[in-house]
Amino acid sequence: MDKFKVETINGLPVVDNGRVLIDSKKHLNIHSSIDNPASDRDILNSDNYDESSQIDSDVYLSNIIESLKLRTLVVGIGGAGNNAISRLQEIGVPGAITMAVNTDAQDLFYANADKKMLIGKKITSGLGAGNNPAVGAKCAESDLERIKKCINRDVVFINCGLGGGTGTGAAPIFAREAKKSGALVVSFCTLPFNMEGEEKRLVAFKGLSKLAEYSDTIIPIPNERLLRLLPNISMMKGFKIMDEILIRSVKSIVDLISNCGLVNLDLADVKSVLSKRARSSGFIGLSEINIEKLKSKTNNYKDKQEMKQILRQRTIKALHNPLLDINVKSIRSCLVSIVGDQTMSLAQINEILSTITHHILPSAKLKFGTMIDPAAHSIKICIIGLADASPYLSRLEEFI
C-alpha cells in the first residue's frame, strides 16, 4: 500500500484548522458507497502503521478519526416517511445519510434524499402498496438483499406513518435487518387521527407492535394529540411540528458524537442509554431559551435567581412534551444535548441538568454533551431517553 502523500511547504505538512490535508488521490475514501459501509473501517488495518514507532503521525491519527466517525442512516419509509426525510434533507444534518423508501415510484421521485430505494417493483410495478401492510412487507422482503447492503450502519433512524401499506408493512423489515447488522435502531412513527376510522387505527397498532419488536427505542407520536393541542393549526405546519421531533433527535445524536464540543459522547454512551429495554417507550423533549434574556440576568442576586427560574421552567417544558403520553417520573435513562454560544456558563448547564435529575427517576442513567455554536441566539435543550411504555405500547393487546 502506498504511503499517504501530504502536501508540504518548505518541507512542512499543510494544515487546515489543525488537521493535515492529505492528497485526495491517496486518501482512503471515508465516505464510501452506502452499499459497502464496511470499507469505512479498513483504515484501521492500514499497513502504514509502524508498530515499532513510539509516536503516531497526524496523518495516521487523522485517518483513524475519520474512519471511526459515526455511520448514521436516516430512513423515511412510505408517504409520511418520505415527507419527513425531505424536510430533514432541506435543513441538513452533516454526518448522516438520508434515504427515502417507497413502493410508489411517483412519490419517491418527488422525495428529497441522498439515496432512494423503490422496493417491490415486480410486485406493485411502482404503483404503491394500496394501503395493504401485507403488500408493503412483501415488497420489502423481495428486496431483502438490497436492504441488507445499505442498512449496515452504527445508528439507524426509521421514520414512518402507521396505518397505511408501505410504512406499516416495510418499516419493521428495515428495523429487523438493521438490528441484525448490530445497529442501534431508533424508530419514530405517527399514529392516525381518530377521524381516519377504526380499521386504520387497528392496522396502525399492529404495525406498531411489529416495529417495536425490532427497535431499541421507539417513539410513537399520535396525530390526535396534535389535533387536541392545536386544533386551528394548518395541516402543513402541524406536520412540520411532528417532523421537528425527528430532525432535532437525529441532529442532536449525530452532533453529540461526531462534533468536537466541550463535553462529548461516544457511540457506547448512546447505546448504553437508548438500547432496548423491556416495556420501555422512547421519549424526546425540546426547548429553547433566549440568550439575550439570560444575559440580562447576571448583574445581581435577584437577576441570577430569575435566570435560574427561566432555565428551570424551560427545562421542565422540555421534559413535559405534550405530544407524548409519557410519565416523566418514569424516565430511566436519557441523553441531554445542550447547545449555546460562547457566553453559556457552567452555572447554566448545571441548572439545566439539576432540574432534569430532580424530575426523572433518582436511579436514572443520564449522559450529557454540550456544544458551542457562536451563531446561536438561544440555548437549545434536547432530551432523548427511555421511560415506562406509553399507553400505546403498554396496552397494545387491547388495541389489536
Q: Is residue 47 part of a domain?
A: no
pLDDT in tens, the chain (400 residues): 444 444 444 443 434 443 333 333 333 333 334 445 544 455 455 555 555 566 788 888 888 877 777 789 999 999 999 999 999 999 888 889 999 999 999 999 999 999 999 999 999 999 999 999 999 999 999 999 999 999 999 999 999 999 999 999 999 999 999 999 999 999 999 999 999 999 999 999 999 999 999 999 999 999 998 888 888 888 888 888 888 887 888 888 888 877 666 777 888 889 999 998 777 889 999 999 887 777 666 666 677 888 899 999 999 999 998 888 888 999 999 999 999 999 899 999 999 999 999 999 999 999 999 988 888 889 999 999 999 877 777 666 666 5
CATH number at residue 239: 3.40.50.1440
Same domain, 326 and 384: yes
Q: Report residue 160: phi and psi, to 5°.
A: -160, 160
Q: In whole angstroms, give the CA distance from residue 203 to residue 399.
A: 10
Same domain, 247 and 284: no
Q: Is residue 186 part of a domain?
A: yes
- Measured between its terminal Cα atoms, the distance across the chain in Å is 58
Q: In whole angstroms, give the CA distance from residue 82 to residue 213.
A: 23
Q: In whole angstroms, give the CA distance from residue 83 to residue 293.
A: 35
Q: In whole angstroms, give the CA distance from residue 225 to residue 206.
A: 20
Same domain, 162 and 302: no
Q: Is residue 35 part of a domain?
A: no
Contact call for residues 117 and 98 (beta carbons, < 8 A) = no
Q: In whole angstroms, give the CA distance from residue 178 to residue 269.
A: 19
pLDDT of amino acid 25: 35
Number of domain units in the chain: 2
- Which three three-digit cell numbers place residue 103? 413502493
Q: Is residue 42 part of a domain?
A: no
Same domain, 151 and 221: yes
Same domain, 283 and 366: yes
Same domain, 195 and 309: no
Measuring CA to CA, which residue among 116, 245, 235 is closest to residue 187?
Answer: 245
| Beta carbons within 10 angstroms of residue 31's beta carbon | 11
pLDDT of amino acid 258: 73
Same domain, 249 and 299: no
- Which three three-digit cell numbers place residue 163? 396505518
Question: For residue 126, is it left (φ>0), alpha (ψ between -120 and 50) or beta?
Answer: left
Same domain, 299 and 236: no
Q: Is residue 270 part of a domain?
A: no
pLDDT of amino acid 297: 62
Same domain, 151 and 250: yes
pLDDT of amino acid 251: 83
pLDDT of amino acid 217: 93
Q: Is residue 335 part of a domain?
A: yes
pLDDT of amino acid 53: 60
Q: In whole angstroms, give the CA distance from residue 94 to residue 78.
A: 24
Q: Is 219 helix (H, G, I), strand (E, B) or coil?
A: strand
Q: In whole angstroms, give the CA distance from residue 55 to residue 312.
A: 47
Q: In whole angstroms, give the CA distance from residue 1 to residue 21.
A: 19
Q: Is residue 333 part of a domain?
A: yes
Same domain, 332 and 378: yes
Q: Is residue 30 part of a domain?
A: no
Contact call for residues 151 and 178 (beta carbons, < 8 A) = yes
Range of the domain at 334: 278-388
Contact call for residues 25 and 31 (beta carbons, < 8 A) = no
pLDDT of amino acid 245: 82
CATH number at residue 351: 3.30.1330.20
pLDDT of amino acid 8: 44
pLDDT of amino acid 159: 96
Same domain, 92 and 217: yes
Same domain, 187 and 331: no
- Which three three-digit cell numbers place residue 313? 421552567
Q: Strand 333-340 vs strand 365-372: parallel, antiparallel, or unpaired? A: parallel
